[in-house]
Amino acid sequence: MFQAVANAMKAAEVTDADVKRGKAQLKAQVLYAGESADGLLSDLANQAVLLGAARSPASLVADIEAVSTSSVQQALRSFVDSKNKSLASIGSVNKVPYLDEL
């Protein structure tokens, strides 16, 4: 299973349609979080803790819109080609390959 996932990632091609769909899903998630006071406050608190500052939903949507297919492809290649990977597993690990085998 691990080897199949690693091979699929190495062979992955990201299309314009994939990026368009991903951007639409992420924008919907960002905007949905801001629909209720609880959701908005929770989102802003998470941003403040994780990023040190909170950003408006409109600002996040603008950043999402700026993502291009080529930047996603470049990020995927950078991850796949990186020599600095790590692997974590829980449960029975006797069938988990060594990281250098992936």
Question: Which tens digit of pLDDT belongs to each residue from 18-57?
Answer: 999 999 999 999 888 878 888 888 888 998 999 899 888 8
CA torsion angle 24 29 31 37 (round to 10) = 170
pTM of the model: 0.69
Rounded Cα gap, residues 56 and 42, in angstroms: 13
| Percent of the chain with pLDDT strictly greater than 90 | 36
User: In the structure encoding, which two tokens stand for residue 44, read together?
Assistant: 């802003």
For 2-79, the fitting CATH number among 3.30.565.10, 3.40.50.620, 3.30.830.10, 1.10.490.20 is 3.30.830.10
